[in-house]
C-alpha cells in the first residue's frame, strides 16, 4: 500500500502538530507581552503550514513527500526550540508535539 496507509503515522503526527501550533500561536497573542512572543507566533504559523502541506502530499503519495517531510522536520525543530524558551503550557505542549512530529517525519524519510 502506498500513500495514506503507508504514511498514516506521519500524517497523523503532522495534522496533530499543525493543530497544536495553531493553538500555540493563538494563545501567544493573548500573552501580556505579545511582542516578546512574535517569533514564537511566526514559527508556529510556518510550522503549521508545512505540517498541513506534508500531510496532504503524503496522503496523495506525492513524489515530493519525502522532501517536504525533511523541510517539515526542520521547521518543527525550529518551532520546538523557540517554544522551549517560554514558560507557559501552550508553548510546552507545542514544543513536545513539534519534537514528536519531527521524529515522525524523519522516520518516514528513512523507509
Q: What is the pLDDT of residue 107?
A: 92
Percent of the chain with pLDDT over 70: 96
Total Cβ atoms within 10 A of residue 29 = 10
**37-69 pLDDT per residue, tens:** 999 999 999 999 999 999 999 999 999 999 999
Q: Which helix (H) or strand (E) holds 33?
A: none
For residue 83, pLDDT over 90 is answered with yes
Q: What is the pLDDT of residue 81?
A: 98
Q: Where are the domains of the chain?
A: 4-109
Which one is the CATH code of 4-109: 1.20.1270.360, 3.90.1150.10, 1.10.443.10, 1.20.1080.10?
1.20.1270.360
Amino acid at each position: 500500500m502506498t500513500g495514506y496507509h503507508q504514511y498514516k503515522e506521519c500524517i497523523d503526527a503532522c495534522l496533530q502538530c499543525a493543530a497544536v501550533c495553531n493553538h500555540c500561536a493563538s494563545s501567544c497573542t493573548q500573552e501580556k507581552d505579545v511582542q516578546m512572543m512574535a517569533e514564537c507566533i511566526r514559527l508556529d504559523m510556518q510550522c503549521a503550514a508545512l505540517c498541513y502541506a506534508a500531510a496532504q502530499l503524503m496522503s496523495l503519495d506525492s513524489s515530493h513527500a519525502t522532501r517536504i517531510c525533511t523541510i517539515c522536520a526542520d521547521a518543527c525543530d525550529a518551532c520546538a526550540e523557540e517554544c522551549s524558551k517560554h514558560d507557559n503550557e501552550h508553548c510546552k505542549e507545542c514544543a513536545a508535539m513539534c519534537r514528536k512530529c519531527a521524529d515522525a517525519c524523519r522516520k518516514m524519510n528513512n523507509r
